[in-house]
Amino acid sequence: MNDTFNSGDNDYGSVRISNDVVAIIAGVAATEIEGVAGMSGGITGGIVEMLGMKNLSKGVKVEVGDKEAAIDIFVIVEYGSNISELGQKVQENVKKSVETMTGLEVVEVNVNIQGVNISKENKVEVEPRVK
């Protein structure tokens, strides 16, 4: 696997796109979907790490060929989201964004839900068993 994708040579030279650029495009596209709380660094030692906007490429794994790309996205979703619908929207937006910006054909987008973010508003107060 190369670290760059060569989008072609022309009369002026060549254009090369880094795999990290493809990963960042995919990460931004994923976080544009309502219900995605953030990107996940994956499960490391059983702990899911939520990454901020600066680390969008860390929640994305890309495999880029000469003309095609396969993308794995790792996300945290907001509690109450329809996970199936959210996953499909992430797939569609990532595919569209990467294809539009790079010219690559995205052959698959695998969305991995790594956790659920429960905001303070959604937390349920549990009555203690003993007083």
Q: What is the CATH number of the domain that holds 13?
A: 3.30.70.1350
- Whether 75 maps to a domain, the answer reads yes
Q: How many CA atoms lie less than 13 Å away from 51 in the CB half-sphere?
A: 22
The residues, ordered by sequence, that sit 6+ positions from 2 with a Cβ below 8 Å of its Cβ are 19, 64
- Whether 85 maps to a domain, the answer reads yes
* Total domain count, the chain: 1
- Whether 17 maps to a domain, the answer reads yes
In whole angstroms, what is the distance from residue 12 CA to residue 74 CA? 38
- Here the tokens at position 18 are 């880094």
Contact (Cβ atoms closer than 8 angstroms) between residue 58 and residue 72? no
- Whether 125 maps to a domain, the answer reads no
Domain encompassing residue 13: 4-118
Is the whole-model pTM more than 0.85? no
Burial class (CB in 10 A: 0-12, 13-18, 19+), 41: middle
> pLDDT per residue over 52-99, tens digit each?
545 667 889 999 988 899 999 999 999 999 999 999 999 999 999 999
Task: Give the per-residue pLDDT at 11.
Answer: 79
